[in-house]
Every structure is written in C-alpha cells, then in structure tokens.
Structure 1
Amino acid sequence: MKHIHIIGIGGTFMGGLAAVAKEAGFEVTGCDAKMYPPMSTQLEALGIGVHEGFDAEQLDKFAADVYVIGNVAKRGMDVVEAILNRGLPYISGPQWLAENVLQGRWVLGVAGTHGKTTTASMLAWVLEYAGLAPGFLIGGVPQNFSVSARLPQAPRQDPASRSPFFVIEADEYDTAFFDKRSKFVHYRPRTVILNNLEFDHADIFPDLAAIQTQFHHLVRTVPAQGLIVSNGGEESLRETLDKGCWTPVEFFGGVGNSGWQTADESADGSFDVLLGGEKVGRVSWEIIGEHNRMNALAVIAAARHAGVDVQTACEALGAFKSVKRRMETKGVVNGITVYDDFAHHPTAIATTVAGLRRKVGAARILAVLEPRSNTMKLGTMKAALPNSLSEADAVFCYAGGVDWDVAEALAPLGEKLYVSKDFDAFVAEITAQAQSGDHILVMSNGGFGGIHDKLLDKLK
C-alpha cells in the first residue's frame, strides 16, 4: 500500500481524488486550511485523516510516498517550501489521477465555464442507468449517487468485469504552482463535452483568448475515433475549434444548427429531443431552464457515443436528481424557503435567478450573494452583477473580504440593495426583511459562514 498526502484536500476536486485513491487501496491523508460540507463529511465518512493548516511539521507526522499538491498550494507556504527543500516526491492532482486512475479507460470529460458539475452528474447517471457502472469524479455531490467520486464498478451486462468508463469534470483552472496548464489537459478524454466558454478566472487568465488557447490544448488531445460535443450557440467555442480539430464534432443548441435541438418545451420542464430535425426522444422531468435543456442535449449526445441509445438516456434524465448546492432547498420556515446555489459568475447568477423566477412566479425572491471566487474578489466582472441580479426583488451582498466598492458597483439596483461587511448584521437584515411566501436564494462557491442554517434558525 502506498501512502499519498494531499495538500489542499478540502477542495471538491482533491476531495474526490482522495475518495478514489482510498477506494483504489492507497493510504490517504491530507491537509487544508478550512473544511466544510460536502467534502468534510465525505472525507470523515471515508476515514481519511485531515490535518488543519499548511505547516511543515505535518510532513513528519504524514511521511508519505508522494505528496499530491493541489492548486491552492502556493510558493511561500511552509509545507510547500519544506517539500521542495527536502527533495520529497510530489505531483499534481490531475497528473496523479491520469497516471493512477484514468490510464487505459474511456474518459468522458465535461468542460465549460458553467454547468460542468451538473452536466457531469447527468452524464454519470445516464451511464449508470444504462447499466454501464462508470467511475466518476465530479466537483459536487450528485444526489443520484450521494458521493462525488468513485472507481468504475461492475457493469450490469458483464458483472465479472470492470466498466471502462470514467466521467470527469474537466476544469480549465490551472493544475498546480509548478504546472500552469489547465487541469483538463491531463485527462485525454475519448468523449468531451464543450458546454460554453466565457471569460472567467481573472486571477490566472488575462483574457478570453488565453482560455481559448487552453481549450484548444484539450481539443488537441481528443483522438480521431473520439467525439467532441460542442455548444453550437457559442461563437467562442467555434473559434476554438477553427484553430484546428481532428475529431468528429456534434453540435447542440444554437440557431441554424442541424445537430441536437429541443422542441415542444412544456411549462413543467419537459421537452422533445431532435437530431437532424427529427424527433428522437422526449425528456420528462421537472428541472427548469434553457441551460439545463442544453446540458441534457450534450449528455444525450455524449452517452450515445458510449453506446447508450437516446430513449434510454431520456428515461435516465427523467430520474435525475440534480446536485447538492445547485438550487438545493435547505429548509422552509414559516412559509419562507431558503435555497443554496453554487453560482459565482454573473452569467450563472443570472441563469439561477431566472430559473427560480420561472419556478415561483410573482413571489418575492431575496437574492443573497457572497463574491467569493478569485474573479469576483478582483472585481473583474462587477459591472455585470447588477443586471445579473435584476430579476430579484431584494439583493443582499456580503462585502467582507472584498476590496472593491460593492455598494458603488451594485448601485444600479437602487433601493432593493443591501450591502454589509458585518456578517451578523447581514444575517439579521435578511431575516428582518423576509416575509411568509418569500424565497431566499443564497449564492456562493464557499461555506458562507454557515449562513443557511443561521437564516433558518433566525426565521423560526
């Protein structure tokens, strides 16, 4: 048994890597600054020891065969400097995964600025429903599985074997302090979904063109016998493919695209699936939003490449239960519903608010935002925030840890805006304004100080 110690184990990717490593028979420990659900509870359930902090002393306690370094680790951190000074073996998470888990498997990658977690969860579930028992590593907890990662299992069609399929959320963020390529370059997928492509991660990318370059690196790794499933409505993706593509491409969505399309959308969320203008199936589910219909089309196309017929894929999507922290209902108190959502980019925020608006009609929406991602903290997209929140009836933005003037940036929202750096006062103001029948939508890519439970407790 080899021992790996993971630096930054609390992240969704590294926590998932820890889970598959443990399942594969490795001894696994790790460290991080802070831990919060769902990763903290998942690691605890797996019996994985976690050290709090990035001190050098932990290297004596956790004398590992190799140190797997996440991109939260930076030069100057005591543990990083000690690893380098002592000449200890280290590797990035994506490279470790590629060499120890993905090698020799049929990898299905899901890339894009938005929707990676939901789409990857859908794809893993469709393959599972079809009996293909895939492995997966997803940046969230799909409720159909209750874990964020696992190794391939025994397929229904051949119980004595192991599934060749592995679904992975293919992130464009950089790999590690010593490898500035995007994570997804390591995965070498046979099937890849390119969901969308916008400017994001302003802390590591100077502009959209730089991200397109990384996406084209991914395109270069897909074999000629593979498949690229690309959003036909995204000009940025077409430009990326125009740089050179050696793999068949199937497009979904977009005006004038003859590939995968939707039709006859119902108010309950159901829709027909078209391929080449012909109806090939219908998805009956209660998941709302155009973005989710596009996610579903991409999944149906990718699953078909892996051998799942369209009708089976449509049936599977009808049983899909979404992902924790994606419009997840945290509780209802005195007629007030509190939701949790991971949205942290203006486009995702706008989509999330619009989706809830279609669900609740004229009821009041109280949008609660924590600008926590690196891009949001830099204020790169602050000009787009007011419009992304315009459908909410009241907007509460927590300004703690943000250097730019949140009140000034969100001033176009007028009297519906409340901004505070005092967390307790922030929670108190939300509960003071909330009324029976309201919907409180909390959006953050972090733990947000446990605000959901605090709100539910104060609303009693």
Structure 2
Amino acid sequence: MIPEAPHHIHLVACCGTAMGSLAGMLKARGYHVTGSDQHVYPPMSTQLEAWGIPIYEGFDPAHLDPRPDLVVVGNVVTRDNAEAAATRELGIPAMSFPQALAHFFIQNRQGVVVTGTHGKSTTTALIAWVLAHAECDPNVFVGAVMRNFDSTFRLGDGPHMVIEGDEYDSAYFDKGPKFLHYRPRTAVLTSMEFDHADIYRDFEHVRSAFVRFLGIMPAEGYLVACADHYQVREVIANNPVASAVQTYGIEPGADWRAETYTSSPEGTELTVSYQNQPYGQFRAPLYGPHNIQNVLATIAVAHHLGLTPAQIASGLATYAHIKRRLEVRGTVGEVTVIDDFAHHPTAVQVTLEGVRQAYPGQRIWAVFEPRTATSRRNVFQQDYIQALQGADYVILSDIHRKESLAPSERLSPEAIVEALRHHIVGADFYAGTSGIIDQLCRDTRPGDVVIVMSNGGFDNIHERLLTALAER
C-alpha cells in the first residue's frame, strides 16, 4: 500500500544512472530523499551530493532509521539484501524504480516510450529536445546525460512524459520488464535482438517481452516501428496492436523514409518522405545509418504530436548529442579519439559503419572492452568477429570481471583477435589499458580515428590516451 502523501523516500542502490536520476527528480519535486549503495563513486555520488541527497555507504537496516514513508528498491538489489529484508520486516511500503517513475512522474501525462535493443537513449533524447525546443515543456527520463539539458532528466509542466523504455527487469519482487510500467500512449520500437543474457534465455524470451509491451498499447495510441529490422516487422505483423501503427526506415516501403542522406563528422542532411510524398529536409549533428533511423523515428513522433516540419527541423538542427554516443573526446596530432557506448555486436557494427561514412578514407582503430553481462559471455563470440571487421585495426581488452564467470561461459578476446587476423584485419589483445595506449601512441598517424567502445569507464582510457598522444 503506497502512502498517499509520502514525505521521506529512501532509495536502496541509488548510485546507478536510473536510480540516481530518480533521486534527483524526487528531490526536485520537494520530497526528502535519502539513499544507500555499495562502493559509492562519482559521477553519480557527486551529483547526488550536489542535489543535497545524503548517501549511506553500504547496506544496513540502520539506514531506515528514521523510518522512511517509502523505499524504492533498485533492480540490482537481491531479496536477502539487508535493507530489502528490513523493509519487509518493518512493513515499509516498497516500489521498484519503474513503478516509482510511473507513480510520481507519469501520472496523467501521455507517455512517449522508446523501446528496442538499440538506439533507445539517442531517440529518447532527440524526441525530448525537439518537444522542448518547440516549447512543449515535456518531462523526460533518459539513461544517459543529455547535453541539451545537462542532465539525465527534465521536469516540465507539459502533457508528455518522454521515457527510455528498458526491457531489463524491474526488481527482485517484480521480474517483468521496466517498460511495462510506463503507460505508453505514443511508442517507438527501434529493433529487437537477443541481449541481456543474464536475464533472458534466448531471442524468443526477449521477443516475448516486446510482445507484452505491444499488448499494453491503447486503442487511441500510436506506435512507430523500424521497418529496416526484420524482427520488428515480424512481431508487428504477427501480434495484434490496438494502436495505430506506422513504420520508418531507410529501405523502401516505410511510411517515413530517408530518400537521400549525406554524412560528415559534423552531421547528416536528409530528405524525408511520408507515405511516398515529400515531407521535408532536415539536418542533425549525427551520422551513421542507425542515427538516421533514430532521426526518422523522432520526426514521425513529433509529427504525430502536432509539430510542424519547420519546428522539427529547428529542434533537430540544435540538438546536442548525449554523452558517450559517438562523442569526440579530443583531437591531438590530427588523431581523433571518439567515445561510444556500443557493446552489442550489432551496435559495434553500425557504429563502425557510421564512423566510416563520416570519416571516409581515414584509418579507423576500434578499441573494444567486453564489459556488459552479454558481451562478457561467449554467446556472441562469432558475431564480434564479423562486427569488428568494419575497422582497419582492432584492439581488444580483457573481459571485465572475468573471474565472476565460469571459463566455459567467457568470451575469448584472444580467439577473436586470431580470427580477425585470419580475415586480414590487424588485431591485438592486451590484458590492461597501458598496453593499448602504448600501441596507439606508437602506431597511429595523423588522420587516424580511434573509437573506444565500452559501456563503462574503461580505466579512463580516453583522457589517458589524449594525454599520451600529446606527449609523444
């Protein structure tokens, strides 16, 4: 039973991007917020401190004294966590992160939910900015820092709540996907592939989660789906959707289509048609086929929500990309260092394709850290060999926290290197980042592009590399 007017809300495991952002949102709405986590670390720890939110180190029932009115439990928290157990024993009302986000921030707003294996953060941020730029004053939640807002969230008074809809599970007491809580009125389905191997058995298990999402779309809703992905076309065709459905894509046949496009490091210019009729010309500071799809989804959603082509074009032109998505960290000695979040093999492949389009004729170095629950496992061993062939030279690090996986489950970076060499792609493996930096300083030349792909800090390799390049 959730109290009608909670005052004190405590978040267990609050230093992740999602939980930390929720803490900030609740604080901004006037609630007294506290939190706890293990290994409290920047940047979220410093952000929480700046917001005036006290954070306890570790998990202890004493952190529930004074007794909060409500506890929000992160999805990394297990049932036997000391604070989770104490919450049950004391009878304190508890919610998962997505339940709390829906309860406190969606309410009667129209949910604009972006789902899919790839492109969620970028598409959510694009839609959010286009609406905000058009003075629609949306509420926003994204699992990455949006440069336009310098935050992972935005609180507004408009009718829309724009949310990145994650298919990951919600909490130990709520194993369903997060996006089932988000009350979609308008939705985007970008793609569907096997991912999150720690919670999904196989692709059919992943597919079932998206089928459940399609099933909660209302009759008055609107779904826009990427026609370039076979699995998306298939799931739409074979599962009833109450909402109106339109498609977008680069390939022929989509309702919303990029008829032509040209890319450079500064971005992409594209000509868009709607149901085979000219719609408009647009420019966005993004490149790569995956980002063209993200822009098309944004145009379709913004049009549905009542914006004119001129309003959409103005928003796209002034968009500042989210951090860690093809983010140029610096150029030293004419060597450009780019940071990207890509970790799934499809994301790695399309990211490299995008870099190749934007930097034609330049030598591309791909530096990859297997860090996610999926990429650390050998389920995509062969797929990474194919994906990484888009680079001229590949460097792999050891898998993150490999001791937590049985040897039979682990990805083998060394085997990927050997396979790439067989395919006449230069490749090396290093157990630590120092060896990677040494090779890049020794072997890169002016005009080269180094793209570092990891969903984590990767031992601060970006800044260390830029410093080392400046000193060579």
Give the alignment's TM-score, normalised by structure 1: 0.92
Task: Tell me the distance in 1 between the aligned counterparts of 2:163 and 2:259.
Answer: 29
Summarize the Cα distance change of 1:406–1:76 in structure 2 as closer, same or farther, 3 Å threshold. Answer: farther
**Mean CA deviation greater in 25-34 or 390-399:** 25-34
Distance 1:333 1:350 in 2: 26
1-structure distance, mates of 2:452, 2:61 = 38
Query: Counterpart in 1 of 2:72?
Result: 68
Aligned partners of 2:128 and 2:138 also within 8 Å: yes
Indicate how the Cα distance of structure 1 residues 381 and 33 shifts in structure 2: closer, same or farther if over 3 A, else same: farther
> Which secondary structure state, in structure 2, belongs to the residue aligned with residue 458 of structure 1?
helix
State how far apart, in whole Å, the 2-side matches of 1:41 and 1:369 are. 28
In 1, the alpha carbon distance for the partners of 2:438 and 2:170 equals 40
3-state secondary structure, aligned to 1:424 = helix
User: Which of 92, 101, 105 is 2:96 aligned to?
Assistant: 92
2:76 alignment partner, SS class: coil
Query: What CA distance in whole angstroms lies between the structure 1 residues aligned with 2:375 and 2:437?
Result: 21
- CA drift at 1:233: 2.3
Q: Does 2:247 align with 1:251? A: yes
Distance 2:9 2:316 in 1: 37
1:291 paired residue number: 290
In the alignment, residue 174 of structure 1 is paired with which amino acid? Answer: D
Matching residue within 14, 26, 39 for 2:44: 39
Do the aligned partners of 1:234 and 1:254 also contact (CA within 8 Å) in 2? no
Determine if contact 2:343/2:454 at 8 Å carries over to the other structure.
yes
* Aligned pair partner of 1:103 in 101, 107, 125: 107
| Alpha-carbon offset, residue 62 of structure 1 | 6.7
Residue 383 of structure 1: aligned partner: 382
The answer on whether the counterparts of 1:385 and 1:410 sit within 8 Å (CA) in structure 2 is no
1:361-384 deviation line (CA, Å, top 9, x unaligned) = 222222111111111122211211
Q: Where does 1:93-172 land on structure 2 (aligned, <5 Å)? A: 93-152=97-156, 162-172=157-167
| CA spacing shift, 1:285–1:239, aligned 2, 3 Å | closer
**Would the alpha carbon gap of residues 208 and 221 (structure 1) be closer, same or farther in structure 2, given more than 3 Å must change?**
same
The alignment covers a number of residue pairs equal to 450
* Residue pair 2:343, 2:370 contacting (<8 A) in 1 also: yes
1:412 aligns with 2:419: yes
Contact 1:203 / 1:378 at 8 angstroms: preserved in 2?
no
1:275-314 equivalences under 5 Å are 275-314=274-313
Cα distance in 2 for partners of 1:275, 1:148 equals 31
Further displaced range: 185-194 or 429-438: 429-438
Instruction: Find the residue that maps to 2:446 and give its secondary structure.
Output: coil
Report SS of the residue matched to 2:374.
Answer: helix
Alignment-mate amino acid for residue 330 of structure 1: R
Whether 1:219 and 2:229 are equivalent positions in the alignment is: no
Asked if the contact 1:38–1:141 (Cα under 8 Å) also holds between the matched residues in 2, the reply is no
Between stretches 131-140 and 276-285, larger displacement belongs to: 276-285
Distance 2:169 2:420 in 1: 34
1:26 to 26, 31, 36: 31
Matched residue, 1:192: 187
2:322: which partner in 1?
323
Q: Is the 8 A contact 1:112 1:197 kept in 2?
A: yes
Q: How far has the Cα of 1:431 moved from its partner? A: 3.2
Distance 1:441 1:61, change over 3 A: farther
Give the counterpart letter for 2:13 in structure 1: G
Superposed CA deviations along residues 239-258 of structure 1, whole A, max 9, x for unmatched, are: 32322211110111264425
Q: Give the direction of change, closer, same or farther, for the CA distance of 1:444–1:62 in structure 2 (3 Å limit).
A: farther
Q: Secondary structure at the match of 2:376?
A: helix
| Unmatched 5+ stretches in structure 1 | 153-161
**How much does 1:451 deviate?**
1.7
Contact map agreement 1:140 1:324 (CA 8 A) in 2: yes
- Native 8 Å contact 1:5 1:62 kept in 2: no
Structure 1 residue 314, shift from structure 2 partner? 2.1
Which consecutive residues of structure 2, in runs of 5 or more, have no partner in the other structure? 1-5, 403-409
Counterpart mapping for 1:340-379 below 5 A: 340-379=339-378
Using the TM superposition, give the Cα deviation of residue 325 of structure 1 relative to its aligned residue in structure 2, in angstroms. Answer: 0.6
Matched, 1:175 2:170: yes
- Aligned residues: CA RMSD: 2.1
- Report if the CA contact (8 A) 1:396-1:430 is conserved: no
CA distance in 1, matches of 2:215, 2:358: 41
Percent of aligned pairs sharing the same letter: 37
Q: Is the 8 A contact 2:250 2:258 kept in 1?
A: no
Give the distance between the partners of 2:450 and 2:41, measured in 1 at CA. Answer: 21
Residue equivalent to 1:449: 459
Secondary structure in 2 matching 1:128: helix
Query: Conserved in 2, the CA contact under 8 Å of 1:213 and 1:240?
Result: no
Compared CA separation, residues 281 and 355, structure 1 to 2 (3 A):
same
Checking the alignment, whether the CA contact within 8 Å between 2:250 and 2:259 is kept in structure 1 is no
Structure 2: how far apart are the matches of 1:179 and 1:390?
40
What displacement does 1:57 show? 5.1
TM-superposed CA distance for 1:427, in Å, is 3.5
SS at match of 1:218: helix
Are the counterparts in 1 of residues 417 and 429 from structure 2 also a CA contact under 8 Å?
no
Q: Which residue of 1 aligns with 2:407?
A: none
Distance 1:120 1:413, change over 3 A: same
